[in-house]
Structure 1
Amino acid sequence: MEAEFDQNRLVLVSNGEPYKHVFEDGNLKLEKMAGGLTTGLDPMMQEDDGLWIAWGRGEADFEAVDQNNKLRVPDQNGYTLKRIELSEEEKSGFYYGFSNEIMWPISHTFISKANYKKDYWQSYQQVNQKYAESVLEELEDDDLVWIHDYHLTLVPGILKEEKPELKTSLFWHIPWPAWEAFRTIPWRREILEGMLAADFLGFHTDLFVYNFLNCAEKIGAEVDFSEREVYYQGTKTKVESVPLGIDYQKFDQLSHDEDYLARAKEVKDHYETEKLIFAVDRLDYTKGIEERLEGIDRFFEKYPEYQGRVSFVQRVAPSRTGIEEYQKMKERIEKKVAEINGKYQKDQWQPVKYFYGSVPQNELLPYYKAADLGLITAAIDGMNLVAKEYLAVQDSGVLLLSEFAGAAEYLDSALKVNPYNTEELADRIYEGLEMPESEKKERLKRARADLKEYDINWWRNYFLEKWLDSYE
């Protein structure tokens, strides 16, 4: 793979950018963005001098670029970042509208939450066209164009119309729904046709691959399910499951760092409790926060011997604060927290410690180590990297994982739970807290071996290898 790849320049196209610019004391400051995409792809882009095209969202992003909206990141020895500028109207229609009110809920099978406004679709088309034109302006012979996620489904089709021989791929970072959900989108055919113009498509799990293949067949494509190939309008698209991993080396090193271990001990000591349960989520209906709180309530009711001995820490990061539904969800969560605390708290002990607000990852990470039980009960999730990060720093903790998270397909060492089953959730929490030390160690040993082998670098290399193999 490396020999062939060395002959090509990689052009990455994504909604989120790897670096942003902010103002600090009147000066421009470059900040590296968090997240798996930057972690996995930024080092390779620096090494191979690629081109990354993304929406510039930093407050000072367009103060730092040249007349073509380009700059070198992280410095002159790195690679080229080309920023796309969106108007307020485009942000509203393309991002907050079509991407977040149609693609997001439908992909997560929350059909009733979708808002099929025609204006959103027009904006989505317009911005995908803007992205494609930005790519076309930069193309060199033998470029490989790797597109990311649900914001940019039309880009492969627009590119192929202009450059039929162009090699393109797309990785889908969230779930792909069953046809019964996807079919509700009025523009389902256009979305699928855009994606099927790509030569190679990657999803997190085999289930998402099957769902996509089934959707393609429903619009009249010829699908070979065993080979995972789709033939449509004279083109062939290869589809594979390529589960996203974490930067295992970073988390493994962290788990042996003395300062980190000291901070984790401070966290545990601060709560003055025998056992600590931890969860962290962005405020979103897909994360199962309300169902989780019902499970916590039932746990303390069913297993009263743990009252006063266990504290549950729930951190929630703000998200889509301008949307009324999210404001109401936050109110319901806070009401339930108050109800649980009112029902069970005694003396100085409080069963639920709830925090709402943005917290840097370096402040969250000590909780991963301090927690005896990591509680990840998403209603549905593409992968969920927090599950993997929790296991990577642990030496005796237990992961309680929703069976509807993509990670559940790969983490056999976790305790699995249906988050909608309150009784089962309460029982699984008890099971995790009561698990013998020897069993915890054995589960973690298996988990860490898998996390080490299938890390972020494996994901990147495997995707590129399978993509290039698809041309043979």
Structure 2
Amino acid sequence: MARLVVVSNRVASPKERAAKAGGLAVALREALSKRGGLWFGWSGETEVGAPPEPKIFRSGRITYGLLTLDPEDQRAHYAGYANGTLWPLCHYRLGLLAFRRADWEGYRRVNEHFARALLPLLKPDDIIWVHDYHFIPLAAELRKLGFEGRVGYFHHIPWPATAVFLSLPSHAALVRDLSHYDLVGLQTENDVRALLTYISSESRGWLAPGGVVNLRERTFRVAAYPIGIDAEAFVQDAKDAVGSDEMKRLRASLAGKALAVGVDRLDYSKGLPNKFAAFGELLKNWPEHRSKVTMMQIAPLSRGEVAEYRALRRELEELAGSINGEYAEFDWVPLRYLNRPFQRATLAAIYRTARIGVVTPLRDGMNLVAKEYVAAQNPRDPGVLMLSRFAGAVDEMTGALIVNPYDVEGMGEALHTALVMPLEERRERWRTNMKNVETNTIHHWCERFIAELSSSQEALPDPLTAEHQAHR
């Protein structure tokens, strides 16, 4: 069995507990342990004149390689191009996109640095799995150095439509970089269509059935691999939460009131101002729910050094204050707004208690909170998932109340619908969603991608031949 090599910006420490590490880290660690493998990424540290070699250590069957970066390289790569350019682009926020050639050069420089540091650690038959938009050029840099083995890439965030992607000055170079992978995985079929449309219309690449692409003498495959959660573990966490101190405290604080919950990183892609405004619409237009429902929004802070994120935090604080100021009673606070993370067990207790899970991003690659909320529900008395049509999870969570996050009044109406929904309808919707959660777990996702990457160098149909045959 070939060794697995995982490359990601963040590397989960072997000492990091599963409840803190999250489902993806647990699944990757599990896959690496089965095969024996290498997990390679940034150490989280910067140092002027940083050493070119990574720090290497071993835990069980996994070898860890952590690379320290020069501070300016790290800024240009991470805060500059990855999160100042690619993140807003892929989330359709062109007004926030900032492209600087120096950041683009730093992004490529860091990818070249990673390739040079990784190459001496590789074996010819290794299977390399690169994760996310921080490392799109990595395969191209490895190929330049002579590595010919299997390399796959998974893009965790949305892939933008062609008209949006063309706004990026470096769009052509990035897609050329993708052609050096053997397998490119995206979250949804919509993402696949967006990338293939660009390749056929702008790059003049040849397409064959099954997402096979020929571009500049490189043949590779593009396919959808919707990511899942560790469903079994999350169901167990929710069951264990029954009777826990956290659930007792939460229920005591609610005093019989219904709970609507949102859990999102503090990010402009999550549509948090729209969500707050929708809750205000509910209280304004359906006064019968006043003093009977509480919304809890958990929004851990992120990228606090970025001005847009600081402005978003101020906006949300003002909105929360305005809603509470207008509708609160001496024994009821309508909106609870929390800026800190919680352990998975605590989240499971909150999800299980909540009558509504409010997942309404403006754009999201998948959004696993939607699946976690479903997994945590009591099958006898489940809550209702309210889900944005622009979250990747909408393709699988067909039992959700689907909403347009730009329609604040419509979301307010959906909140009302969820609160008055009959038990049998709630059960039917939950069963539909839970079937998908249990079928497509994080473990199935991981195994499927690795299996298809492992066989990626077997004979693929030649797009040129297929095209010629089609015109005979």
TM value normalised by structure 1 = 0.91
1:96 to 50, 75, 79: 79
2:94 to 111, 125, 138: 111
CA displacement, residues 366-418 of structure 1 (integer Å, 9 cap, x when unaligned): 21111110101100000001110110010211110111000011111111100
Aligned counterpart, 2:8: 14
How many Å apart are 1:260 and its aligned residue?
A: 6.0
Aligned counterpart, 2:178: 195
2:28 is equivalent to residue 45 of structure 1: no
CA contact (8 A) 1:273 1:308 kept: no
The one-letter code sitting in structure 2 at the alignment partner of 1:424 is G
The one-letter code sitting in structure 2 at the alignment partner of 1:318 is L
1:158 to 138, 141, 145: 141
CA distance in 2, matches of 1:16, 1:218: 34
How many Å apart are 1:341 and its aligned residue?
A: 1.1
CA distance in 1, matches of 2:242, 2:427: 23
Aligned counterpart, 1:25: none
**Superposition RMSD in Å:** 2.0
How many Å apart are 1:363 and its aligned residue?
A: 3.1
How many Å apart are 1:261 and its aligned residue?
A: 5.1
Alignment of 1:42-441 (within 5 A): 42-57=29-44, 69-73=55-59, 77-163=60-146, 165-224=148-207, 226-257=209-240, 263-395=246-378, 396-441=382-427
How many Å apart are 1:43 and its aligned residue?
A: 1.1
CA distance in 2, matches of 1:466, 1:68: 29
How many Å apart are 1:459 and its aligned residue?
A: 0.2
How many Å apart are 1:58 and its aligned residue?
A: 6.6
SS in 2 for 1:140: coil
**Alpha-carbon spacing, 1:258–1:246, altered in 2? closer, same or farther (3 Å):** closer
The one-letter code sitting in structure 1 at the alignment partner of 2:9 is N
CA distance in 2, matches of 1:320, 1:101: 11
The one-letter code sitting in structure 1 at the alignment partner of 2:11 is E
CA contact (8 A) 1:414 1:443 kept: yes
SS in 1 for 2:448: helix
The one-letter code sitting in structure 1 at the alignment partner of 2:401 is L
CA displacement, residues 184-232 of structure 1 (integer Å, 9 cap, x when unaligned): 1111111111111101110110000011111222332423264311101
CA distance in 2, matches of 1:261, 1:428: 31
Unaligned runs of 5+ in 2: 459-472
How many Å apart are 1:54 and its aligned residue?
A: 0.7
CA distance in 1, matches of 2:8, 2:159: 18
2:23 to 36, 54, 64: 36
CA contact (8 A) 2:125 2:149 kept: yes
CA distance in 2, matches of 1:129, 1:318: 31
Higher mean C-alpha deviation, range 214-223 or range 256-265: 256-265
How many Å apart are 1:87 and its aligned residue?
A: 1.8
CA distance in 1, matches of 2:73, 2:22: 24
The one-letter code sitting in structure 2 at the alignment partner of 1:332 is E
The one-letter code sitting in structure 1 at the alignment partner of 2:320 is V
**Alignment coverage as a number of residue pairs:** 450
CA contact (8 A) 1:14 1:149 kept: yes
CA distance in 1, matches of 2:343, 2:375: 19
SS in 2 for 1:257: helix
Aligned counterpart, 2:436: 450
TM value normalised by structure 2 = 0.91
CA contact (8 A) 2:397 2:432 kept: no
CA contact (8 A) 1:200 1:238 kept: yes
